[in-house]
A and B are shown apart, each in its own frame.
Chain A
């Protein structure tokens, strides 16, 4: 068990490092950075939805909250280390409170979706209406629909003058995603993660075993929000401005589409779905022949119809079908891969 875990982590690090090294050869790092940030956001929903069964329609709220927290704190502190930490902690606390209300209130899945959606809309409306000078946190004006520009972007911890930007910012974000990925892998292998999977499968059974389902879902929800918050902070530092559109419905809906297209119940699927669709949107944005939301919608429909489990599970199945007919040893090996992607 220990050995196979170590091998898993090593594989992730090797593949991750190779991707981080190779990708700048095909695309500029500025574009890659945003794809990585979206990948992290996709992973945050992929974790709570794919492995915990919590369908959150407002994952964008935690992303936006992370971005705003970072922007406001960066203006007040004039450096980026504490704001980064706050951007992780505040969405997590917000999610823990919201989650506790929903899960201890024993809401069914539909109402969970409605509430998370409405919370996102409330935040959107609220931030949009904060244009007046009375909406100030410390030195930072919330700025309403204009957003907050001109805050301190990411710097080397302890040296506010040493900005991390361009290529180095790409590497920071890529390593951050790799670390989050490793963390998620570790979490899913832990008892907590295995029980979360049990909750996804059958909540009643897990509670009849004596586990406090509401508490566990709340913690998982908060972890997902923390990851989304980190992605939001990285996004703020990349874009150098935060605006209320971060809280828009379109943003939250897109995250769900990423997860479906990439493959729910896998760790890599949501990242691939996010980066892939965001890149496609970027390419389509360079022409004016077709509207790109139309294409995104079309892709979602096609996937739901023809590849409902998403890309990564389909690839895994294909891989098994091709390699699975080999020797018994190989078969055992692919079985383990399947277990790894499922769990």
Chain B
């Protein structure tokens, strides 16, 4: 049952003299939720980019469902059935909500199935009232929700979300939590996040990054009460 969907072995990323990711060994099981936390510059986002193909790691390997995918292009990774949401919203501003989602659906479905899929996602994410609106005219929270829609429309088995709750209102975050809970019935999810409130409300296991390396990996409660983690977050010497 516990199939490993994502694994990295001694993943290292250097930018000149800076080691942003240092020997990260990471494993994720099917339908597992894992949050990656850590202070600014801890290497979370670099790790995320190495996994999604946005960066090619200096050393180490990435495996997805047992296949090596190190150095693959983002579109090749996504084609495996991996949904990716980057830190900054990446949407098509002058296209409508339904067109945005349709484009994502079309990658994995025929035209007719895509139309059905779009209707289904719009329904599930309660986007019906804004389906024909251009993305550029929407509020930040709505855009995030749409982006989540186009990440999940292809029924991914692995979803990678970089700061999905950034800049959202409490109500939007609540809605996001429900959507993610629902996602977990089908896919494994990795969330890179700063918002501790959000992490507390959804997280089970948490991986803490610090100075490019994994500091600890444990259940959220254990992590929150850990003195080292607290020090790291407060900027004290660990």
Interface residues of A (CB under 8 A from B): 191, 194-195, 197-198, 201-202, 204-213, 342
Among B52, B75, B86, B108, point to the contact of A213 (Cβ < 8 A).
B75
Pair A191/B86 contact, Cβ less than 8 Å = no
Whether A202 lies near B84 (C-beta < 8 A) is no
B79 to A210, Cβ gap below 8 A? Answer: yes
Partner of B92, one of A191, A205, A211, A213: A205
Q: Could you tell me if B90 and A208 are in contact, using CB atoms closer than 8 angstroms? A: yes
Given known contacts A194-B102, A195-B106, A207 and B92 CB-to-CB distance under 8 angstroms: no
Q: List 12 A-B contacts (CB under 8 A).
A: A191-B106, A194-B102, A195-B106, A197-B95, A198-B100, A201-B94, A202-B93, A205-B92, A207-B78, A208-B52, A208-B86, A209-B107
Establish whether residues B103 and A194, one from each chain, have CB atoms under 8 Å apart when the complex forms: yes
Judged by a CB distance under 8 angstroms, whether B165 is at the interface is: no
CA distance A208 to B94 in the complex (A): 18
Residues of B within 8 A of A207 (CB): 73-75, 78
A202 to B86, CA, bound (A): 13
Partner of B75, one of A201, A202, A210, A342: A210
Q: Measured between alpha carbons, how far is A198 from B74 in the docked complex, in Å?
A: 16
Whether the pair A211, B107 counts as a contact (CB closer than 8 A) is yes
B111 at the interface (CB under 8 A from A): yes
Task: Give bound CA distance, A202 to B102, whole Å.
Answer: 15
* B60 CB, min distance to chain A CBs, angstroms: 22
Tell me the complex Cα distance, A149–B108, Å: 53
Q: Which of B90, B91, B102, B107 contacts A210 (CB 8 A)?
A: B107
A275 to chain B, nearest CB (A): 27
* Best-surrounded residue of A191, A195, A206, A210 (most CB of chain B within 10 A): A210
Beyond A212-B75, A342-B94, whether A204 also contacts B86 by CB under 8 A is yes
Expressed in whole angstroms, the Cα–Cα distance for A207 and B103 within the complex equals 11
| Shortest Cβ-Cβ A-B pairs, 8 listed | A210-B78, A201-B92, A210-B79, A205-B90, A207-B75, A210-B107, A208-B84, A198-B103
Q: Is the CB of B111 within 8 A of A208?
A: no
State the Cβ distance, A265 to closest chain B Cβ, in Å.
9
Quick one: closest A residue to B79, CB to CB?
A: A210
Range, interface on chain B:
20 to 34
Which residues of B does A touch, CB under 8 Å?
52, 73-76, 78-79, 84, 86, 90-95, 99-100, 102-104, 106-108, 111, 150, 154
Query: Which residues of B are found within 8 Å of A212, using beta-carbon distances?
Result: 73, 75
For A209, give its contact among B73, B76, B94, B150 (CB under 8 Å): B150
- Kindly identify which residue among A191, A201, A209, A211 contacts B95, using a CB–CB cutoff of 8 Å: A201
Closest residue of chain A to B115 (Cβ to Cβ) is A1
Q: Is the CB of A202 within 8 A of B91?
A: yes
For A195, A204, A205, A212, which residue has the most chain B Cβ atoms within 10 angstroms? A205
> Once bound together, how far apart are the Cα atoms of A202 and B90, in whole Å?
7
- Check A198–B95 contact: CB distance below 8 A: yes
Most buried by B among A201, A207, A208, A213: A208
Min CB distance, A300 to chain B, in Å? 24
CA distance A207 to B74 in the complex (A): 6
Q: Besides A195-B103, A202-B93, 15 other CB < 8 A contacts?
A: A194-B99, A194-B103, A194-B106, A195-B106, A201-B95, A202-B90, A202-B91, A202-B92, A205-B90, A205-B150, A206-B103, A208-B75, A208-B84, A209-B75, A211-B107
* Given A194-B99, A198-B103, A204-B86, A209 contacting B92 (CB threshold 8 A): no
Can you name the residue of chain B whose Cβ is closest to the Cβ of A265?
Answer: B94
The complex places the Cα of A202 from the Cα of B94 at a distance, in Å, of: 10
Contact for B104 among A191, A201, A209, CB less than 8 A: A209
Contact residues in A for B111 (Cβ distance below 8 Å): 191
A310 CB to closest chain B CB, in angstroms? 16
